[in-house]
């Protein structure tokens, strides 16, 4: 068995961080620059689940005058997230191959997880979906990769990690996993296929 483990943002889905914050700013009583500063102040805490979706909303209500309408806030906060149809189809196709298991490790806050729940039914078809805000740790902490391997019951040498951020891939490689720094599917997909046919 081999495991292909993907990042989500800018790999299996498209993510424009500025678009999300601009949409929140449009609801608020402060400038886009102030919204960015407010988010930066809580980004680390949201990423490891110290603030849940309701608490993130409440923070922006109190700090930026966002309306007290949770659904409207979540819609704005997810404005920068869009499906990558080809990438998602490929992940599902890999999962269906004999001898291949597919997982996801994502640094993601619980407000964005609500968007995933509504828009990414494909995640239910994968063998592992690990969200940083649900497990209380984030890439590139080696512990998050170790937990993924433990849950998949595979040694590091039988897994490959694909992420658009080099430090996250380096951390996985430090544990013995193979790694691909994703820039485009034109290069990532052939590299993955080549790894899959290498002798174990």
Q: What's CA 188's distance to the chain center, in Å? A: 17
State phi, psi for 129 to the nearest 5 degrees. -130, 110
Mean pLDDT across 177-196:
98
Q: Distances in Å between the alpha carbon of 111 and those of 16, 54, 58, 196?
A: 15, 8, 12, 34
Say yes or no to pLDDT of 177 above 80: yes
pLDDT class for 136, splitting at 50, 70, 90? very high
Mean pLDDT across 48-66:
98
The dihedral sign for the CA sequence 53, 59, 60, 61: positive
Mean pLDDT across 174-193:
98
Say yes or no to pLDDT of 200 above 80: no
Mean pLDDT across 15-32:
97
Distance CA 61, CA 68 (A): 6
pLDDT class for 186, splitting at 50, 70, 90? very high
Residue 25 and residue 42 in contact, taking contact as beta carbons nearer than 8 Å:
no
pLDDT of residue 172: 98
pLDDT class for 194, splitting at 50, 70, 90? very high
The dihedral sign for the CA sequence 106, 107, 109, 111: negative
Mean pLDDT across 95-124:
97
> If you average pLDDT over every residue of the chain, what do you get?
97
pLDDT digits (tens, 9 = 90+) for 37-56: 999 999 999 999 999 999 99
pLDDT class for 199, splitting at 50, 70, 90? confident
pLDDT of residue 24: 98
Q: pTM for this structure?
A: 0.96
């Amino acid at each position: 068995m081999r495991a292909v483990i993907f990042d989500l943002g800018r790999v299996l889905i498209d993510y424009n961080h500025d678009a999300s914050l601009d949409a929140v700013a449009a609801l608020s009583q402060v400038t886009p620059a102030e919204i960015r500063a407010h988010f930066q102040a809580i980004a680390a805490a949201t990423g490891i689940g110290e603030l849940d979706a309701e608490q993130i909303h409440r923070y922006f209500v109190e700090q930026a005058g966002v309306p007290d309408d949770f659904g409207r806030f979540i819609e704005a906060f997810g404005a920068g997230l869009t499906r990558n149809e080809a990438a998602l189809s490929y992940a599902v196709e890999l999962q269906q191959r004999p001898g291949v298991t597919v997982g996801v490790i994502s640094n993601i806050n619980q407000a964005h997880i609500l968007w995933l729940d509504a828009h990414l039914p494909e995640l239910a078809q994968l063998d592992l979906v690990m969200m940083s805000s649900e497990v209380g740790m984030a890439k590139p902490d080696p512990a998050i990769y170790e937990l993924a391997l433990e849950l998949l019951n595979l040694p590091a040498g039988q897994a490959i990690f694909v992420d658009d951020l080099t430090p996250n891939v380096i951390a996985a490689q430090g544990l013995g996993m193979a790694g691909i720094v994703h820039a485009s599917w034109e290069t990532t997909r052939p590299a993955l296929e080549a790894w899959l046919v290498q002798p174990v």
